[in-house]
Amino acid sequence: MSTEVLRQYHIPRFADVPRSEIYFAATSDALGPRGAKSMSESPFNPVAPALANALRDATGLRFASTPFRRDDVYLALEDAGLVPPLVTAAEQVQVGNGVDIQS
């Protein structure tokens, strides 16, 4: 990971994925609609476990429920004492020359 702080990690988007070529196989399935074969379950099923394992490798914590929201990850890291407490917008913020502003 090249970022110093986990919350600044850039999650890859579609544009970040390398180009790929798609080849169609000339096959048919009697049970599928118009002879189509199922394919979406195969690449989709391992995604959540792979992300959970990546989070465990990166943080040392086990995340057992989905979705993996960044706020939930940060709060789990905070509970484990691995990051400083999160400052919310409702808390006081000191601006400029010492003037306190209440959000």
pLDDT tens-place string over residues 57-102? 999 999 989 999 999 999 999 999 998 887 766 665 555 555 555 5
Residue with tokens 């702080």: 5
**pLDDT at residue 34 in the model:** 83
pLDDT of 20 higher than 90: no
Average pLDDT over residues 18-23: 87
**pLDDT at residue 60 in the model:** 95
Residue range 27-58, pLDDT digits in tens: 888 888 888 877 766 677 788 899 999 999 99
Q: Does pTM surpass 0.75?
A: no
**pLDDT at residue 98 in the model:** 56
Domain boundaries, the chain: 6-101
| End-to-end Cα, the chain, rounded Å | 34
β partners of residue 93: 101
**pLDDT at residue 93 in the model:** 57
**pLDDT at residue 81 in the model:** 93
Residue with tokens 């020359």: 97
What six digits make up the tokens of 14?
């579609």
